[in-house]
C-alpha cells in the first residue's frame, strides 16, 4: 500500500509535469511564429 508521503509526492508530480508541458507547448508555438516571420535560412531537411 502506498504511503502518505509517496501519495503526496505523486500528486505533486502530476501537477508540476502538467505545468511544464503547458509551458513547453506554448514556447514551441511562439518559436513557430518567430520562424514564420523570419524563414530565411531554415533549410534543415532531414
Least Å distance, CB 38 to another protein, is 12
Q: Does 45 bind another protein (CB under 8 A)?
A: yes
Q: Does 44 bind another protein (CB under 8 A)?
A: yes
Q: Does 38 bind another protein (CB under 8 A)?
A: no
Question: What are the distances in angstroms from CA 40 to CA 28, 30, 33, 34?
Answer: 19, 17, 13, 11
| CA–CA distance, 21 with 28 (Å, rounded to integer) | 11
Q: Does 8 bind another protein (CB under 8 A)?
A: yes
44, three cell numbers:
534543415
Among 1, 38, 40, 41, interactor with another protein by CB under 8 A: 1
Amino acid at each position: 500500500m502506498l504511503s502518505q508521503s509517496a501519495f503526496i509526492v505523486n500528486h505533486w508530480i502530476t501537477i508540476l509535469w502538467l505545468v511544464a508541458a503547458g509551458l513547453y507547448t506554448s514556447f514551441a508555438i511562439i518559436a513557430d511564429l518567430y520562424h514564420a516571420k523570419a524563414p530565411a535560412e531554415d533549410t534543415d531537411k532531414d
